[in-house]
Amino acid sequence: MTTEGTPSGPRTTTPAPAPANDADARRPSARASGEASGPTTPPAPPSPRRSRRQSALVGYLSGVFTFLTLLALGVGGAFYWGKSTFDAPGPLAAETTVMVPRNQGVSDIAASLAAAGVIDHPKLFEAGVRLYRANDRLRFGEYAFPARVSMREAMEILTSGRSIEHAITIPEGLTSLQIVDRLRDIDLLTGDVKEIPPEGALLPETYRVMRGTSREQVLARMRQSQKAALEEVWRGRDPSVPVKTPDDLLVLASLIEKETGVAAERTRVAAVFVNRLRKGMRLQSDPTIVYGLVGGRGTLGRSLTRTDIQSRTPYNTYVINGLPAGPIANPGRASLEAAARPDTSGELYFVADGTGGHAFAATLAEHNRNVQRWRQVERARGAQTDRAAPDEAAPEPEGGSAAAPGSTAPRR
């Protein structure tokens, strides 16, 4: 039975296509592949401008590296040369001295060393000093530089402060004015003295000073030394010595200093004065007459006269009792010690013996004999005086003086 609209006749069946194997299924066809990727093309070459920029950068970097390499080699070579030259023996053929004034800078010092032939590269010396941070440690003074000294050694000499020291010897027995005059004559010292120090305030001895030291500095050292010496001697004094203060001891020491320059006599001269003080006798010391007349000038320039001996000054121990008004000179330490610890003899007199020393006596009779011997020595020598007139001459001692007038042995 047929329905309307349905074809009649036998039904035919079309077989389904066979499935492809797995490999064939996974392999794309040439067409499909071509459709997916399109045709293959080579990459485009870089533009000429970009290529030039890259070449320029490489050349620049290469040039910078080369420059830095050469610079490092140059700096290293210069440093090596500088250090070697700084440490190498210098041009100086023989030892010389160079004065470095106060407040000089490194450049000025380097120029001074070059002018003296100590170094031949002042700029290198200056650079080396600054490199070693020694520019603030260079000290003024007069320095000795040995032959062939290197710049490093020169720097070390200047920073050591071991400058040349000169010896200044001030003799005992000078007045303060005489000491100042001597200091003014010493060329290595600088500056002037504003005020003459008090008499007796300076300790005579040898002082070592650098060139350029001021005269005021030397006087300050001498005052400090005398102060220290007097304090020490006073502490060790014989308490039986009839002096009440260190100042009195200083006055007594100045008399001893002016009376004798013989070291072995100092304690005996001190004993004479101390014994006379204990007995209430006047000291009657010739140098006190002179100081009362001329003061700090120190020397009279002639023999004493009767008028001189009778002159009423606060220093003349022929007319005053006890010690003079103040020191008559600057005594040395030995005279300070003699005043503090005099000899224990009972001697009361002394007079020049004609040999540079003195003859001492405990009695007036013995002293008068010593005076006569001294007069004979003077007559034998044909001694002449420059007194104004014979009737003004000092009289022969009457026996009460510690030393015959005008008979004190010369100090030097």
Return the top range by mean pLDDT from 60-64, 220-224, 355-359: 220-224
User: In which band, very low, low, confident or very high, does the pLDDT at 75 lie, cut at 50, 70 and 90?
Assistant: low
Say which amino acid occupies 298.
Answer: G
| Terminal alpha carbon distance of the chain | 184
- Look at residue 205 in the predicted model and tell me its pLDDT: 97
Residue 257 to residue 264: CA distance in whole angstroms: 12
DSSP label of 332:
-
* Distant-in-sequence contacts of 219-226, Cβ < 8 A, 24+ apart: 219/179, 219/180, 219/183, 219/193, 222/170, 222/179, 222/197, 223/197, 226/200, 226/201, 226/202, 226/330
% of the chain beyond a pLDDT of 90: 66
The per-residue pLDDT of the chain, averaged, comes to 84
Domains of the chain: 96-160 (3.30.1490.480), 165-227 (no CATH), 240-392 (no CATH)
Calculate the CA 393 to chain-centre distance: 53
| pTM for this entry | 0.72
Confidence bin at 161 (pLDDT 50/70/90): confident
pLDDT digits (tens, 9 = 90+) for 231-275: 999 999 999 999 999 999 999 999 999 999 999 999 999 999 999
Taking only the tens place, the pLDDT of each residue in 196-219 is 999 999 999 999 999 989 999 999
Can you tell me the mean pLDDT for 135-142? Answer: 91
pLDDT tens digits along 326-347: 999 999 999 999 999 999 999 9
The contacts of residue 223 (CB under 8 Å, 6+ apart) are 197, 201, 202, 203
Confidence of residue 40 (pLDDT cuts 50, 70, 90): low
pLDDT computed for residue 351 by the predictor: 95
* Structure confidence by residue, pLDDT tens digits, 352-406: 998 889 999 999 999 999 999 999 998 888 744 433 333 333 444 444 456 644 4
Contact call for residues 96 and 145 (beta carbons, < 8 A): yes
Q: Give the confidence band of 298 by pLDDT, cuts at 50, 70, 90.
A: confident
Which among 277, 270, 276, 275 is positioned nearest to 256, based on CA atoms?
270
Region of poorest pLDDT, from 82-86, 226-230, 286-290, 329-333: 82-86
Q: Which two structure tokens, joined as six digits, stand for 187? A: 């060329």
236's tokens: 């060790």
